[in-house]
């Protein structure tokens, strides 16, 4: 009997820690907001009027943003797994959607750099110099991105499997 009460208490604490109504709702919401902010920032490196086309060295914010994106993505994956474990599928789906957007932007940026043959000093930081080949790769990658995203969404892949599929799908074939 004590074992069941203890188990129920542990499960309740776990649910409180990851549910929107729990004490940790604020950090979960701020993590999702951070993921959305980082997704937009990373997308701006390869999409839109201010995109980094490679005619200049990488923007100063590039390396810190890419590193933070990877850290936030890992935390989203961890919390989504806990949400599944504690049977809060709504929260798990919200975390996964934020993670999908972020991982797609990280993967697109990474594949643009790979296709442009940009060397890295320490991943994900390219040496601070211009990379003109980037300007030629971005349009082709942008055309592929929509179809790759639809394919990954249709397959309902986990974070790691989605990243593998997106990277494979985005690779430009010679």
- Decide: 12 and 19 in contact? Cβ < 8 Å: no
In angstroms, the CA 122 to CA 135 distance is: 22
Average the pLDDT over 146-162 and give the result.
Answer: 81
User: What's the pTM?
Assistant: 0.79
- What is the residue-averaged pLDDT of the chain? 84
Residue 60 lies in a domain: yes
List, in order, residues 6 or more apart from 80 with CB less than 8 Å away: 92, 95, 96, 99, 159
Q: What angle do CA 32, 105, 65 make, to 5 degrees?
A: 70
Q: Per-residue pLDDT tens for 130-152? A: 999 999 999 999 999 989 888 88
Give pLDDT, residue 24.
52
Residue 15: band (very low, low, confident or very high) from pLDDT cuts 50, 70, 90: very low
Please report which confidence band the pLDDT of residue 50 belongs to, taking 50, 70 and 90 as the band edges.
Answer: confident
User: Cα–Cα distance between 116 and 97 in angstroms, integer?
Assistant: 29
Q: Give the pLDDT of residue 18.
A: 47
Joined together, the tokens standing for residue 46 give 């390869």
Q: Is residue 11 one of the residues assigned to a domain? A: no
Q: What is the pLDDT of residue 174?
A: 59
**What does the pLDDT read at residue 1?**
45
In a domain, 7, yes or no: no
Q: For residues 160 and 170, what is the distance between their CA atoms, to the nearest angstrom?
A: 15
Please give the tally of structural domains in the chain: 1
The answer to whether the CB of 91 falls within 8 A of the CB of 14 is no
Q: What is the 3-state secondary structure (H, E, C) of 77-102?
A: HHHHHHHHHCCCHHHHHHHHHHHHHH
Mean pLDDT on 55-63:
94
For residues 101 and 159, is the Cβ–Cβ distance under 8 A?
no
Asked if the structure places residue 39 within a domain, the reply is yes
Domain presence at residue 12 = no
Examine residue 148 and state whether it is found in any structural domain, yes or no: yes
Residue-number span of the structural domain to which 53 is assigned: 28-170
């Amino acid at each position: 009997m004590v074992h069941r009460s203890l188990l129920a208490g542990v499960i309740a604490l776990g649910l409180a820690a990851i549910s929107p109504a729990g004490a940790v709702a604020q950090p979960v919401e701020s993590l999702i907001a951070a993921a959305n902010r980082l997704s937009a920032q990373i997308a701006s490196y390869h999409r839109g009027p201010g995109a980094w086309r490679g005619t200049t060295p990488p923007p100063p914010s590039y390396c810190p943003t890419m590193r933070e994106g990877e850290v936030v993505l890992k935390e989203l994956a961890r919390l989504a797994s806990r949400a599944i474990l504690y049977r809060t599928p709504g929260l798990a789906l919200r975390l996964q959607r934020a993670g999908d957007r972020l991982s797609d932007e990280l993967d697109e940026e990474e594949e643009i750099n790979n296709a442009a043959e940009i060397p890295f000093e320490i991943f994900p930081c390219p040496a601070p110099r211009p990379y003109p080949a980037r300007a030629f790769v971005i349009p082709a990658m942008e055309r592929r991105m929509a179809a790759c995203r639809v394919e990954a969404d249709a397959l309902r892949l986990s974070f790691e499997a989605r990243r593998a599929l997106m990277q494979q799908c985005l690779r430009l074939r010679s």
